[in-house]
Chains A and B, each alone.
Chain A
Amino acid sequence: MDAGLLEQMLLGALLGLSVYLPLRCGQLSLATPGFFAIGGTVAALLSTREPALAGSGSTYPITSVLLEMAIAAMLTGVLAMGLGRVVLRLRGIYLAIATIALVEILRVVTLNLEFTGGALGIFGIPQPFDSAAGYASFTLALLALICWLCDRLEKTRPGRAMAAIRDDDLAAASQGINTADTKLLAFVLSALVAGITGVVAAHFFNSWNAKLGNFDASITTLAFVVFGGSRTWLGPVFGGLLLTALPELLRPVGDLRLIVFGVVILVGPLFFPQGVVTPELLKTLKRRIRLPPTPTAQGGKP
């Protein structure tokens, strides 16, 4: 497979995870492209304007990329903490629209500011890798790390609290769960993932402009999660990989590709209302792989 496409798919999976985190807690936040744009802008600005980061070799040092990621994470984290306190009081579709408004405000401001390059954006972002394969391996490692963190989160106390809030936040509060803090945690984690992903994307795309964080992106990333499934981290990863690849894989059908893409996201939820990847599916798969087809002691409930 083309490494460049693979890299885009991996970025899609990361953005899917960013939308998934608040959604797992029942919060429909569409702020991901905004934090993604902030991460990208931070990387673009630092790597093109800060000579100290450029290093002496022919390629841009990876340590500098890591430093940009740390700075982007700090910035998006602090911002999400402040904004989250305010917007997470809204529910359902109101939260979704308030986050869309945030993303739009950010986009318009980036578009009009001098130092972010206006509508054209920032060009010539230095390359830490000399091939798309280099990017893909770096991003794969990042994705693996974040998946692992999500997996741990799901299987431990805060993850259980998130799932409980999603099912019924009043009942969750009555079990002693601080629902406001738990929602904020999910929102901040989502922002961190998006911000870090933006840093990698800015280097990979080589240029950065305000268009990369717009309303379309909000909805596409949401489609990753709804299509893939929002009850386990594997869902958004699957959805992000597949739906990013789909328009490219459909290139042979030419102009029809976006129409086919539309058909897929139209039909997907009809056949997989919980998303394609669900915890039940995973359980079934596990059982198929691990256990011989004999009745087990546990499954004997009438």
Chain B
Amino acid sequence: MRLQSDMKSIIQKRGLFFFLFLSSGILILAFIILPLFNMMVAPSYEMMKETIKDRDVLRSIWLSIYTALSASLIAFIFGTPLAYLLARSNFRGKRLVESIIDLPIVIPHPVVGIAILGVVGKNHWLGQIMNDLGIRLMGNPAGIITVLTFVGLPFYINAVKEGFENIPPRLENVSRSLGASMSGTFFRVTFPLARRSMLTGVLMCTARAISEFGAVVVIAYHPMIAPVLLYERYESYGLKYSQPISVWLVCICLTLFLALRVVTLNRKEEA
């Protein structure tokens, strides 16, 4: 009785509307947590142990991690200058350039694979040149990295662009007037201040790359990255045999991201 009247008074105070929002919020959280939690606790300890001893599993997880990190490294090296230019300049067609950068996000993943295959295949001049130089992308880690860079770039560039935009141009002005050149200013002021957003960009790009399946399958079914192996195990042996791999993949990725954060954010003042 008492509880009921309590509830009633709370509802009267906060309004029904508030509770509608609250309950739909809880529903969404449950939707995300439930399947993940279920998967994490499904495999037995023995299964987990056995899986991690499997050479194919280890190899695929390692391949996933290093191709994704390589893609992020490429995004970092080539994406940072573009992000800076976009953050600091205004020009006609800037919107167009920004939309082009976002394209990999909106294009269906297998299409990305098909599109890249189109230019690196033997029927295209670029593919021809690469073939002559001995560079093979089909069925090769280099191909996987190419695809992952393609899908991960927008995440890196957008995060870093925003980071650059948040650095007051006046800091750069002061640096210039104190005698630093444009490059000196970039490396002594802008770059250190954008470190955080660069880290965020790298994490997002890596996370995006590690989860890619559709585009990679088109370019390189073999060697198998973890998601492809997972899919193959599921197709051939069923759910039970694909779950432990998933759990290992999730655990290793989370540890990796955590470690990256700790390593790069050890300076107190940036917290």
A joins B in a complex? no
Give the interface of A toward B (CB within 8 A).
Answer: none
